[in-house]
Amino acid sequence: MRIVRILLKTLLYGCLATIAWMLTLDGVVNHYFADPHPSTVRLTSTSKTAVVFFTAAQSSGTAHSAPLKSLWDERGDVIIVEYNPNRFVGQQIAYDVYRQLVDWQYERAILIGASLGGLLATDVIDNDRAGTTHLQYAVMFQGVPLDSSDLYHQDSADAIARAWYPGPVTNYVGTDLMWRYVYNPPPPYMLGPDVDQKQLAAQHQVGRHYPLSGWAGEVRYIAHHRGFERNQYVGIPLVIMESEHDTVVKPTANRWRPVFGSATVIKVPEAGHVDFVEHPDAWRQAFQKGFASLKGW
pLDDT at 14 over 90: no
Closest CA to 265 of 283, 290, 284, 248: 290
Residues written for the chain: 297
Residue 267, SS3 per DSSP? strand
Give the per-residue pLDDT at 2: 52
Q: What is the pLDDT of residue 292?
A: 97
164-221 pLDDT, tens digit per residue, is 999 999 999 999 999 988 888 888 888 998 999 999 999 999 999 999 999 999 999 9
Strands 39-42 and 77-82: antiparallel
For residues 144 and 16, membership in a common domain is answered with no
CA angle 210, 216, 222 (to 5 degrees): 120
Average pLDDT, the chain: 91
The torsion defined by the Cα of 61, 204, 251 and 181, in degrees rounded to 10, comes to -130
Task: Report which of residues 13 and 136 the model is more confident about.
Answer: 136
Q: Answer yes or no: do 54 and 28 share one domain.
A: no
Domain range holding 241?
A: 39-152+203-293
Residues 127 and 2 in one domain: no
Cβ count within 10 A of residue 156: 12
Give yes or no: residues 17 and 124 share one domain. no
Q: Domain check: are 148 and 5 in the same one?
A: no
Region of 129 on the Ramachandran plot (φ > 0 left; ψ -120 to 50 alpha; else beta): alpha
22 and 58 in a common domain: no
DSSP 46-114: --SEEEEEE--TTS-HHHHTTTTHHHHGGGSEEEEEE--TT---HHHHHHHHHHHHHHTT-SEEEEEEE
Residue 25: HSE in the Cβ half-sphere, 13 Å Cα cutoff: 7
The pLDDT > 90 percentage for the chain reads: 83
CATH number, residue 275? 3.40.50.1820
In this structure, is residue 169 part of a structural domain? Answer: no
User: What's the start-to-end Cα distance of the chain, in Å?
Assistant: 80
pLDDT digits (tens, 9 = 90+) for 117-164: 999 999 999 999 999 999 999 999 999 999 999 999 999 999 999 999
Identify whether 165 is part of a domain: no
- The answer to the question of residue 186 being in a domain is no
Report residue 192: phi and psi, to 5°.
-70, 165
Single-letter amino acid, residue 11: L
One domain, residues 5 and 69: no
pLDDT of residue 24: 58
In this predicted model, which residue has the larger pLDDT, 1 or 280?
A: 280
Check residue 17 and give its pLDDT. Answer: 34
